[in-house]
């Protein structure tokens, strides 16, 4: 099986992004391209990164009225990413339309609760019961809407997988033991996240900002 590590390459510098991907490609399973990258380079950038030969995870976290999200996904025509994110909080109709608009080969996954948020943050925007309850609520909704899986932190993935045995679970906010957590609030090690039920792990800065990104990717892969 290929590595469950998708490296997050969120730089607006296309040459640097390609160079990074080439450096680490032997020790990761795919490339995650986020909003910063897509805003800078659009379709052209995604195609360039596709030349590296790894699956592309397009992390756009789309969240709008159903018709707009479906149209935005149709506007990605020709890119056919392996994975595409939308916000599960957009509701069932939005998720259904997003899945219907996506290519058959693309896994559409719903973001539940961002790993930069905790219970206090959720409470401040009117979501009661804490992050665990919200992840479970949105996981159930994503499953009913026909999505392929969800994005959640390593702390909720075991409960989400218990609800959805054959779901696809993307876990971001993963840091090697002793690594800086940056702007994330809920993080765990790659090994813990896999043990808890993650299908793939999204790892960015611990690899991309390392002195030797290839060695960093190799070291993390060795713990798995």
- Given a contact cutoff of 8 angstroms between Cβ atoms, the answer to whether 223 and 217 are in contact is no
Report residue 197 as tokens.
Answer: 């039920």
Distance between CA atoms of 104 and 94, rounded to whole angstroms? 17
Within the chain, residue ranges assigned H as helices are: 14-24, 35-50, 66-74, 92-101, 119-124, 130-144, 157-163, 190-196, 205-208, 213-222
Q: Which residues are catalytic?
A: 61
Q: Indicate the SS3 state at residue 56.
A: strand
Report residue 73 as tokens.
Answer: 């996904």
């Amino acid at each position: 099986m290929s590595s469950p590590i998708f490296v997050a390459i969120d730089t607006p510098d296309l040459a640097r992004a390609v160079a990074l991907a080439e450096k680490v490609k032997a020790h990761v399973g795919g490339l995650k391209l986020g909003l910063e990258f897509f805003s800078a380079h659009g379709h052209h950038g995604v195609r360039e990164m596709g030349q590296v030969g790894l699956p592309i995870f397009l992390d756009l976290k789309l969240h709008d009225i159903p018709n707009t999200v479906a149209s935005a996904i149709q506007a990605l025509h020709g890119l056919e990413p392996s994975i595409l994110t939308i916000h599960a909080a957009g509701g069932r109709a939005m998720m259904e339309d997003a899945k219907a608009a996506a290519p058959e080969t693309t896994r559409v996954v719903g973001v539940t609760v961002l790993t930069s948020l905790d219970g206090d943050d959720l409470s401040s925007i009117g979501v009661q019961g804490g992050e665990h309850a919200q992840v479970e609520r949105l996981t159930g909704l994503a499953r009913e809407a026909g999505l392929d899986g969800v994005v959640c932190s390593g702390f909720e993935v075991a409960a989400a997988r218990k609800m959805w045995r054959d779901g696809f679970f993307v876990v971001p906010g993963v840091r090697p033991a002793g690594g800086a957590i940056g702007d994330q609030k809920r993080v765990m090690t790659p090994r813990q996240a896999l043990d808890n039920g993650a299908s793939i792990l999204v790892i960015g800065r611990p690899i991309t900002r390392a002195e030797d990104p290839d060695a960093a990717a190799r070291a993390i892969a060795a713990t798995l």
